[in-house]
Chains A and B, each alone.
Chain A
C-alpha cells in the first residue's frame, strides 16, 4: 500500500511491529507509536544529536531516518541502556555533575555508550570527536567528558 510502511524491528531487545505513514521518521515512530519518549526532538535535521539511537550497532540521528529504512533492524534507545537500572556510564554522568536540564542527556548517553563500544579507553579528544554531534546548551561539556573518562577508570566490566 503506498504511503504506508509496515516496520518490523527489534527495539531494546523486544520485537515490535508498527504501521506508519512512510514519511514518518524513526524518531517520531519511536516516540509516538512505540511509547518510548526518552529520545528527544530538537533540530529535526541531524545537527543536535538529541535524537541519537543505536541502529544495527551504530549511533545515528533518528530524525533523519524513515521508518521503512529500519524494517528488520535492531535498535537501542536510551530506555534500552541500563534497562531500568543504570550502567556505570549513566552513574558517572550523575556523579560527575554532567546533568543539568537533562534534555540532551539521552542522546549523550546513547552516543557515549556507542563510543565506548568502539573505543573502550577513549582520550578526551576521542570523546570530543565521538560526541561532537551532541549539543548541550547548558554547557556541560567538560563534565560530560569527565563522566565518560571516569566511567572507564572506575572499573572493567559492567554487570
Chain B
C-alpha cells in the first residue's frame, strides 16, 4: 500500500494542480473516500483536502433565479436551510436520509454526486429539479446539466484535475409540487434499494428522478395528463433497469418502483394543489 500524503490547499488552482496527478484523490467529507481506502478500492498517494479551498463556496444562496449550493456545503446545512425546505422539499428530504447526523455533518452534496453511486440519495431530486453543476479546471470552467454528469456506477464526466465548485438548481416562479420516496431494508439508516423524486409544475410537466434502478441515477419526464394508464407508467419507467444485488431482488425493485412512482406523483400533485 502506498504511503499516504495529506495536502490541504488554500486555493482552487493549487487544489486542481495537485489533482492532476494520477494517484491523487479529492477529499471533501470523506464519508465515501475513507471507506474506499479502507477496503483498498482506491490506493491514493495523495489525498487533497478541499475543505480549506476558499474559492469553493461553502454557502447556500439564492441568486436571481437559482439556488446556488456551494461545493463545500455539507448535507446537514441543506437539511436545515429554510429556502431548501420551502422550495426544494424533495431535496431536503433526500439530504435528510443520507446516513446519520454524523455522516451529514461531513458529507458534501457535491461529494455525494461525484461519488456517483447509482443509489446516491440526492441525485433523483436534483435531476427532477433540473440541477446543473459548475466545474472548474485549470483556468477554465464549464457547467453541466446533472442529467449529463453520470456515466456509470462510480463514473462521471469529470476530467482529471476538475473540481465541482457548486451545484445549482433553478427556482421556478410560482408553485411546484414535489415528493421523495425511498425503499430500504430497515427503518434505520440504510442505502436505498429504490429511490425516486417527482416534481410537478402547474403546466402539468412532471419530472422524475430514479435511484438504484440503473447504472446511474436516471431522469424521465412526462406530464400529469399523460400518466394515466399502466402502459403510461411503463413507458415512463422504461428508462430503468433494476438488478438483483445484496440489497434487493430485481423483481421487488421493479414492483416497488411501480408502487412508489404512482404514490409520489399523487403526493406531488396534492402538494402543488395545496400551494396554488
Interface pick from B1-9, B158-166, B266-274: B1-9
Q: Which of A58-66, A74-82, A143-151 lies on the face that meets chain B?
A: A58-66
Cβ of A132 and Cβ of B188 under 8 Å apart? yes
Residues of B within 8 A of A99 (CB): none
Taking A22-B5, A22-B47, A133-B189 as contacts, is the C-beta distance between A59 and B35 under 8 angstroms? no
Please determine whether B6 and A133 come into contact, CB atoms closer than 8 angstroms. Answer: no
Does B142 sit within 8 A of A, measured CB to CB?
A: no
Chain B residues lying within 8 Å of A49, measured Cβ to Cβ, are: 100, 102
Given contacts A68-B8, A69-B30, contact A58 B35 (CB under 8 A): no
Would B105 and A22 count as touching, CB distance under 8 A?
Answer: no
**A59 CA to B31 CA, complexed, in Å:** 14
- Whether a CB of chain A sits under 8 angstroms from the CB of B243 is no
B214 within 8 A of A: no
Q: Is the CB of A129 within 8 A of B101?
A: yes
Chain B 177-208: CB-based contact to A (< 8 A → 1; otherwise 0): 00000000000110000000000000000000
**Could you tell me if B103 and A2 are in contact, using CB atoms closer than 8 angstroms?**
no
> A132's contact among B35, B37, B100, by CB below 8 Å, is which?
B100
Min C-beta distance of B141 to chain A, whole Å:
26
Main secondary structure of the interface of A (DSSP, over half): mixed
Give Cα A47 to B35, complex, Å: 10
In this complex, what residue of B is CB-closest to A61?
B102
Interface size grouping (class) on chain A: 20 to 34
**B106 contacts the other chain (CB 8 A):** yes
Question: A66 — nearest CB in chain B belongs to which residue?
Answer: B6
B216 interface hit (Cβ, 8 Å): no
The answer to whether B189 and A66 have CB atoms under 8 Å apart is: no
For residue B35, give the distance in angstroms from its CB to the closest CB of chain A. 5
Closest CB of chain A to B107's CB: distance in Å?
A: 9
A95 at the interface (CB under 8 A from B): no
A46 CB contact (under 8 Å) in B8, B37, B102, B188: B102
| A45 CB contact (under 8 Å) in B4, B34, B47 | B34
| Most chain B CB neighbours (cut-off 10 Å) among A44, A46, A65, A133 | A46
Q: Are A46's CB and B38's CB within 8 A?
A: no
CB of A64 within 8 A of CB of B34, answer: yes
Interface residues of B in 12-53 (CB under 8 A from A): 27, 29-31, 34-35, 37-38, 47, 49, 51
Contact A46 B31 (CB under 8 A): yes
B-facing residues in A87-125 (Cβ within 8 Å): 111, 114-115
Query: Residue of B at shortest CB range from A47?
Result: B189
Q: Are A130 and B101 in contact, CB atoms less than 8 angstroms apart?
A: yes
Taking the complex as formed, is B175 at the interface, i.e. its CB lies under 8 A from any CB of chain A?
Answer: no
State in angstroms the CA–CA spacing of A133 and B265 once bound together: 31
- Name the distance in Å between B1's Cβ and chain A's nearest Cβ: 8
Q: In the complex, what's the smallest C-beta–C-beta distance from A120 to chain B, in angstroms?
A: 15
Residues of A within 8 A of B38 (CB): 44-45
Q: In the bound complex, what is the Cα–Cα distance between A52 and B99 (angstroms)? A: 14
Q: Does A23 contact B (CB under 8 A)?
A: yes
What are 28 A-B residue pairs whose CB atoms fall within 8 Å in the complex? A2-B3, A2-B5, A21-B3, A22-B3, A22-B6, A23-B3, A23-B4, A25-B34, A45-B38, A46-B99, A46-B103, A47-B189, A49-B100, A58-B76, A59-B101, A61-B31, A64-B29, A66-B34, A67-B6, A69-B6, A69-B27, A69-B49, A111-B102, A114-B101, A115-B101, A132-B100, A133-B101, A134-B100
